[in-house]
């Protein structure tokens, strides 16, 4: 059988493992999406807690002065370039501000971040 010292070591290892994996799961739960690692031009996380980033149909139109012009579902929008990022999954994503109602017409003021589809 195990000695008291071996049992204590096994319990310590199991406790540390549960603690480590529990903290990793908690960290993932709070930042579980790749969108969470990006910020808007105002320094706010692109995706809010209510998961306001949605995959949409959109494209880069061009540049207008110091801003980027994009088209989202047929609507032309002007966005600050620091709020425009390359999509990590190859799809076009748009993150709205928390105060915007998704049932209303989309406007430039409602856009927190845009993730442009790249490649292919």
pLDDT tens, position by position, 28-84 = 444 467 888 899 999 989 887 666 788 999 999 999 999 999 999 899 999 999 999
Sign of the Cα torsion 26, 30, 35, 40 reads negative
At a CB cut-off of 8 Å and minimum separation 6, what does 13 contact? Answer: none
pTM score of the predicted model: 0.68
Q: Over 80: is that where the pLDDT of 111 sits?
A: yes
Specify which residues 71 forms β-bridges with.
59, 76
At a CB cut-off of 8 Å and minimum separation 6, what does 29 contact? Answer: none
Give the tens place of pLDDT for each residue, 9-28: 655 554 544 334 443 333 44
20 half-sphere exposure, CB direction, 13 A CA radius: 6
Which residue did the predictor score with more confidence, 58 or 3? 58
At a CB cut-off of 8 Å and minimum separation 6, what does 96 contact? Answer: 52, 54, 102, 106, 110, 111, 112
Specify which residues 28 forms β-bridges with.
none
Chain mean pLDDT for the chain: 78
């Amino acid at each position: 059988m195990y000695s008291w010292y071996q049992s204590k070591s096994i319990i310590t290892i199991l406790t540390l493992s549960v603690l480590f994996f529990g903290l990793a799961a908690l960290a993932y739960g709070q930042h579980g999406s790749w969108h969470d690692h990006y910020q808007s031009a105002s320094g706010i996380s692109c995706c809010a807690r209510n998961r306001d980033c949605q995959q949409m149909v959109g494209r880069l139109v061009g540049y207008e002065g110091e801003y980027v012009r994009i088209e989202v579902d047929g609507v032309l929008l002007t966005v600050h370039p620091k709020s425009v990022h390359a999509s990590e999954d190859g799809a076009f994503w748009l993150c709205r501000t928390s105060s915007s109602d998704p049932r209303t017409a989309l406007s430039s003021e409602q856009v927190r971040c845009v993730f442009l589809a790249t490649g292919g």
